[in-house]
């Protein structure tokens, strides 16, 4: 068993089944991961995809042949593997999932001890090399398999972030996509004074509702319509492995992820009084304003989970947020969760006594944004360099934490290259000036399009 494996990506494994990822490949990856970790035990689970149980079983066989024990938590979300790994004291965690990819894809995500990240900069190349090289005889001691489907400790941990008794009896639309998040919502429900209106709730690996990605416009409408029709206070939708959650206000309007970072920063600083809050560099002013006003300390990090998690550890940060709907929590081993955010938002709504739209409107007026705009360009690096040269010459302060950010007194922008496509990603924000926002966004797009 040796040969090239071409489903390793920047942060995880992702490929089409069965030509890129199959049970043989899953076995090799599982065995390589356990060997690389020299693990005593590894927590393992899988998402709702039809191919996931078999791929997970194959990975478990590889783990056991490497001499490591496998603790199988069953069908789960990615964050449940994070929790199982740090809570159970395992040497690593592996979840079979392809998140929001099409149903003929699958993949794997990995963590080290303490749910520390494994990525293209730290671990994935070594795992790939071991898997491709092949193996000799199994280890002298074959690892054991233990089933551990009980989710009570995980549910208790989620509830520890809030005071359930302080919640108002809100009506909440929950859209689990094709049901990945559904079982966890059901387990939380008896502990919360909330009325859930459940959409696409039952796990179904046939993906009858399409690709589980709430960022797609066509996937948002069903949640928005249900919020309006049911007179709900809030709408929540998750991606396939529910490590991201997305919000809709009581009017059914989709909430830009940037403003959720500010809400969660507020939630934590109100609880703790002070502490570090980590944010990505794409849009920053709203988050920094909230953090400063509540006595916290804002820390900027390069975009990407491995970078955010490390910066959080370096600063012992309470919370870290990316506008892409990844939210990270110190007490969750600095990992991202799609369950903790909505619990905190529900608690914040209960405390403030205002609808979500009112809380957001104040921040949206103070710091309007363009939303992330993707542009295909022939030479992304040259396009970013041209923008930097033009606006730096006008006196803008340059920040190269991630791509290039340039700030003026009343507006700023960030430009980044895609890692996988000939795209640049543009974000623009102003200090309370929507007309300036529109003008500067149009100006930058004209530059990127070669019209100026």
Tell me: pLDDT of 419 over 80.
no
Mean pLDDT calculated for residue range 5-33: 96
Say what the pLDDT of residue 369 is: 98
**Which long-range contacts (C-beta less than 8 Å, at least 24 apart) are formed by 418-421?**
418/374, 418/380, 419/10, 421/376
CB count within 10 Å of CB 410 equals: 12
Nearest of 121, 83, 78, 93 to residue 37 by alpha carbon: 93
**Does pLDDT of 384 surpass 60?**
yes
What is the pLDDT of the chain when averaged over all its residues?
A: 96
What is the structure's pLDDT at 29? Answer: 98
User: CA-to-CA distance for 362 and 249, rounded, in angstroms?
Assistant: 14
User: Are 132 and 2 a contacting pair, CB within 8 Å?
Assistant: yes
The mean pLDDT value for 338-355 works out to 96
Q: Is the pLDDT of residue 1 over 60?
A: no
Mean pLDDT for the stretch of residues 212-232 = 95
**444 SS3 class:** helix
Residues 382-403, mean pLDDT to the nearest whole number: 96
- Among 2-16, 71-85, 370-384, the range of highest mean pLDDT: 71-85
Sequence-separated (6 or more) residues with CB below 8 Å from residue 440:
411, 413, 428, 430
396: three-class secondary structure by DSSP = coil
Task: Render pLDDT for 141-164 as a digit per residue (tens, 0 to 9).
Answer: 999 999 999 999 999 999 999 999
CA distances from 113 to 39, 204, 309 (A): 9, 31, 14
DSSP string for residues in 103-165: TTEEEEEEEEGGG-B-BTTBBHHHHHHHHHH---SPPSSPPPEEE----HHHHHHHHTTS-GG
Half-sphere exposure of 52 (CA within 13 A, CB side): 32
Q: Which residues contact 367 (CB under 8 A, 6 or more apart)?
A: 283, 285, 286, 289, 429, 430, 431, 432
In the residue annotation, 35 being an active-site residue is answered as no
For position 420, what pLDDT does the model report? 66
Under the banding of pLDDT at 50, 70 and 90, the label for residue 449 is confident
340: which 2 tokens? 């903790």
Taking only the tens place, the pLDDT of each residue in 233-270 is: 999 999 999 999 999 999 999 999 999 999 999 999 99
pLDDT band at 321 (very low <50, low <70, confident <90, very high): very high
Helices (H), 196-276: 217-230, 257-272
By the 8 A CB rule, do 333 and 313 touch?
A: no
- Ordered by where they begin, the domains of the chain are 13-149 (3.40.120.10), 170-248 (3.40.120.10), 257-366 (3.40.120.10), 373-448 (3.30.310.50)
How many residues can be counted in the chain?
452
pLDDT tens-digit readout, 257-304: 999 999 999 999 999 999 999 999 999 999 999 999 999 999 999 998
For 39-87, the pLDDT digits (tens) are: 999 999 999 999 999 999 999 999 999 999 999 999 999 999 999 999 9
Looking at residue 119, its pLDDT comes to 85
Residue 192 corresponds to which tokens in the numbers above? 């919360």
DSSP-based three-state secondary structure for 331: helix
What three-state secondary structure class fits 333? coil
Tokens describing residue 98 = 């392809």
Give me the percent of the chain exceeding a pLDDT of 90. Answer: 94
With 80 as the cut, is the pLDDT of residue 2 above it? Answer: no
Tell me what pLDDT residue 339 has: 98
Residue of 41, 52, 57, 99 marked active site = 99
pLDDT of residue 451: 78
């Amino acid at each position: 068993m040796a040969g090239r494996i071409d489903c390793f990506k920047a942060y995880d494994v992702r490929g089409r089944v069965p030509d890129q990822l199959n049970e043989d490949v899953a076995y090799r990856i599982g065995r390589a991961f356990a060997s690389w970790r020299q693990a005593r035990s590894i927590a393992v689970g899988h998402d709702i995809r039809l191919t996931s149980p078999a791929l997970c079983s194959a990975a478990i066989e590889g783990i056991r042949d490497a001499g490591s024990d496998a603790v199988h938590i069953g069908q789960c979300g990615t964050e449940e593997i994070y929790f199982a790994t740090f809570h159970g004291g395992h040497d690593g965690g592996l979840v079979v999932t392809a998140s929001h990819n099409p149903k003929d894809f699958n993949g794997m995500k990995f963590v080290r001890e303490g749910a520390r990240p494994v990525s293209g900069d730290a671990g994935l190349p070594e795992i790939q090399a071991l898997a491709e090289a092949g193996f000799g005889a199994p280890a002298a001691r074959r690892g054991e398999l233990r089933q551990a489907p009980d989710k009570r400790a995980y549910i208790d941990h989620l509830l520890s972030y809030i005071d359930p008794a302080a919640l108002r009896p809100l009506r909440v639309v929950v859209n689990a996509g094709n049901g990945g998040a559904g079982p966890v919502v059901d387990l939380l429900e008896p502990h919360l004074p909330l009325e859930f209106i459940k959409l696409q709730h039952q796990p179904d690996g046939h993906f009858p509702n399409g690709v589980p990605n709430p960022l797609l416009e066509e996937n948002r409408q069903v949640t928005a319509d249900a919020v309006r029709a049911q007179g709900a206070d809030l709408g929540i939708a998750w991606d396939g492995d529910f490590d991201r959650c997305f919000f809709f206000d009581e009017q059914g309007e989709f909430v830009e992820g940037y403003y959720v970072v500010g809400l969660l920063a507020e939630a934590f600083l109100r609880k703790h009084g002070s502490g570090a809050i980590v944010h990505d560099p794409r849009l920053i002013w709203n988050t920094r304003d909230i953090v400063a006003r509540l006595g916290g300390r804002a820390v900027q990090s390069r975009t990407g989970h491995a970078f955010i998690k490390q910066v959080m550890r370096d600063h012992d940060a309470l919370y870290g947020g990316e506008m892409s709907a990844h939210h990270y929590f110190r007490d969750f081993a600095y990992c991202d969760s799609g369950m903790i955010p909505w619990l905190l938002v529900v608690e914040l709504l209960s405390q403030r006594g205002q609808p979500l739209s009112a809380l957001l409107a104040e921040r949206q007026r103070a710091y309007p944004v363009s939303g992330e705009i993707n542009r295909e360009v022939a030479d992304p690096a040259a396009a970013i360099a041209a923008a930097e040269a033009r606006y730096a010459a006008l006196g803008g302060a340059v920040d190269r934490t991630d791509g290039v950010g340039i700030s003026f007194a009343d507006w700023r922008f960030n430009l980044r290259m895609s890692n996988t496509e000939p795209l640049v990603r543009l974000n623009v924000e102003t200090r309370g000036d929507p007309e300036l926002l529109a003008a500067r966004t149009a100006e930058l797009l004209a530059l990127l399009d070669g019209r100026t």
